[in-house]
Amino acid sequence: KLLKFASADKAYLDYLGRDAIAWPDKFKSQRDAERKFNGEEQPVVGISWYAARAYCLWLSEMQPATSNQQPAIYRLPQEIEWERAAAGRLEDGPSRKYPWPNEKGEPNEKLANYDGKVGQTTPVGRYSEGATPEGLMDMAGNVWEWQENWYNEKKEARALRGGSWVNSSDILPCAVRYDHLPVSQWFGYGFRLVAGQSLF
């Protein structure tokens, strides 16, 4: 199923190779053995875009079928979905600059994990003051989140959003984008899932 899933993307197939015995090493976090990245409720880091997508497939396959006999679909978000979830869409004005309500102002140590202040990722939800009004946690800081889409028309790098625990506050606004090759397994890269079809 994974080969079929990856078949539309030659680079994905090349990444997998034909030796399935080697796949587990390609899919696990490269930071599993590091205690500071392996605590309860911390986001997984050191994970490639390919591994994040493989996890989406695995999780979707593990779900029981719904009433229409289709398993739940888990996937990476498109950037437009991610930004809508992070910045909202206000009826009486522009979107939020940061995920938290505008009246909370600029980033600080109560709102997000950034700028290496803590020295590692933190459990999801630790910064409840920085949640979106809808209750989404860590949309700014902690880990960059892989996006489903390409960064641009060159189709060489995948998009990432949100900033990470090592980045400065300049990276935390909802509109900031970043890119990297999908094979990258940096300790600031993680992912967030979307359940079901497109929400927006």
pLDDT digits (tens, 9 = 90+) for 31-44: 988 889 988 899 99
Q: What is residue 192's predicted lDDT score, i.e. its pLDDT?
A: 96
Q: What is residue 91's predicted lDDT score, i.e. its pLDDT?
A: 63
Q: How many residues does the chain have?
A: 200
User: Can you tell me the distance from the alpha carbon of 142 to that of 33, in angstroms, rounded to the nearest whole number?
Assistant: 19
Q: What is residue 200's predicted lDDT score, i.e. its pLDDT?
A: 36
Q: What is residue 32's predicted lDDT score, i.e. its pLDDT?
A: 86
Q: What is residue 39's predicted lDDT score, i.e. its pLDDT?
A: 87
pTM: 0.91
Beta-bridge partners for 65: 71
The predicted-structure confidence for 67-126, as pLDDT tens digits, reads as follows: 666 667 899 999 999 999 999 976 655 689 999 999 999 999 999 999 999 999 999 999
Strand ranges of the sheet holding 144-150, from the earlier edge strand across to the other edge: 177-180, 158-161, 144-150, 189-190
Q: What is residue 199's predicted lDDT score, i.e. its pLDDT?
A: 40
Instruction: Compute the 3-state secondary structure of the chain and give helix, strand, coil in percent, each to the nearest 5.
Output: 30, 10, 60
Higher pLDDT, 198 or 112: 112
